[in-house]
Chains A and B, each alone.
Chain A
Amino acid sequence: MYAQMVKTASNRVKTREEMSPEEQHFQDKIDNDVKIEPKDWMPEDYRRTLIRQIGQHAHSEVVGQLPEGNWITRAPTLERKAILLAKVQDEAGHGLYLYSAAETLGVSRDELIELLHEGKMKYSSIFNYPTLNWADIGAVGWLVDGAAIINQVALQRTSYGPYSRAMIRICKEESFHARQGYSAIMKMAFGTPEQKKMAQDAVNRLWFPALMMFGPSDKDSVHSEQSMAWKIKVKTNDELRQQFVDQTVPQIDYLGLERPDPTIKWNEERGHYDFAMPDWDEFFNVIKGNGPCNADRMENRRKAWEDGAWVREGLLEHARKKAARKVAAE
């Protein structure tokens, strides 16, 4: 899930009696699964919440290029290098669709990027963890894209049309990434003892951060209720997390790796795996900026943006000159 702890702009859900006729009409559409489109009337809080959520999602795709990009120049074969390049290219493309979806709500890509760089917007906590060995690249595709898919499949039903359509398009590529990630880590898990060690190390390090991607437990998740009522969110954090664990544990077992959480156990009665929650103190620290890579990631993004200013200005100026010459010639 690339949008965690998105603050809903309002504190509680309004009752029907408290709603204006416009709001009632809006809520009726949502309740009947009619998509909200950019030109439709929408409550200001709905618009602001969506900008936060879609913006955070877009930023995650863009910052997410960094931990994977970290291994492009060290990929061990030409084919692995090509697969990784194609994946990172897809992620940048996802960023692009999502910024476009946010733009339909009246905020520009550049404004959102400025907010990110000023620390006023976030991206997913997962990208503040490092990629330390080659198996991490497989593990990221399998676990991180895998977790993202679970959230994003749910979001295909989200109430805002452009966001929903972006999710449908993105999900197809994410499933491909997850499959490729699993096949990469399979090579490692079934390879030499050193390769197997890398695979185990990657799973051990990335398991709990992957669980954090779904956000805090429902009981501590203060902003969910309004988002659920507006169908900006469709399932709760804990529901999605359970779905991820249930899907992933058998895959870990198949690889012949040790489970990264020794308390994982099938619960016959619930029909689900029991598992340990991640360390939420660590999670809140990462969100606050104290994760292992927060400072580096932001420094890299800011540097890319600042170093690139002359390029963006140069190309704009050229477009202006060209337009002026065209006018002069007419």
Chain B
Amino acid sequence: MKLSQALKMAMMSLKGNKMRSFLTMLGIIIGVLAVTLLISVVQGATGEITGQVESLGSNLVFAQITSPKTVYITVDDVMKLEGMGGIDIVTASKSGSSTVKAGTENKSATVEGVTAQYNQVMNLDLLYGRFLAPLDVEAKTNNAVIGYKVAKDLYGTTKCLGNSVNIKGRDFTVIGVLDEGDSMISSTDSTVYIPLLTYQRLFNDKELGAIYVSAENADAVDTAETTLDEYLLKELGDEDYFTVINQSAILDAMDQILGVMTTLLAGIAAISLLVGGIGIMNIMLVSVSERTREIGIRKAIGAQKSDIMIQFLIESVVLSVAGGLIGILLGLIGLQIFEQIMDINLVLTWSTTALALGFSAGVGIVFGIGPANKAANLKPIDALRYE
């Protein structure tokens, strides 16, 4: 018998039982949908986050300071790091959250005191105006650079240079508005940047929250890290009071987390495909015993064992591959929706598609072979007598 004939026969019997065929496929559809969505979303998120971390610049090293209130470093001390072993630019910041007001509008925002070099290190995009200058910090001016969302919420527009914003009872002048950020790891949109010394006075807080240094070049990152580390140890006196992190360490950590997540999700997806496969096997077994007489008739008029085998195997593979295709189709639609909601760029890669299809075809074969074999091995006379 030719394969095209076998395919025709399989399609006919699947069509003869549309509802059952669909329900059987549903297991595979859901499994493949899960695979495509999960893998694509994880891949998309990975790309997004990695991109953001990389956009910080590969030369970035930063230290988070967690020392008790009694031990602290001053900005002036920190700035001395500039030019020391491997370090190019240094900036420091301290942030807290506070309500910011303009007229009758008020909004809770992150207020971050920074030095003028902050912008150089973090590469913020300005929509209007300018960033805080060294003079702003030294003179403890009441100038502020506000995030995109802060501007929108307080003034209804981003064209709000020169307006005043009230933080903790003090009026600040808006000298710069930041462009909308797409970062998921640090949101600049709801942040108000003010000069560090102004911040320290306003919040009565002499500590520094974080120190950012950019290394002279990519090769100097390690040296810069050591310099920063030794400096902080000397100043703070305890290595528990600070943590020095560089960008590649973040990337490594993130890779690790995402790797675990991918494996986990792939595992869940594989299990759901397995369940789908068992569904197919179950239905094929039912189908074989329902059609015992049909098998007997086919054998009586000359069907070979292989003909019966192929017929049933094709039925299960058609079920699983069709389920796979529908799953991928739904996955594509799902990704569109996710893209809208999560505002990230998601693509279904060919390798994911091939993986999902290959897996579902494999499921069809693996779980179809048992029932097909059972059908093929029926003795013609027993099958014919079956009621």
The answer to whether A binds B is no
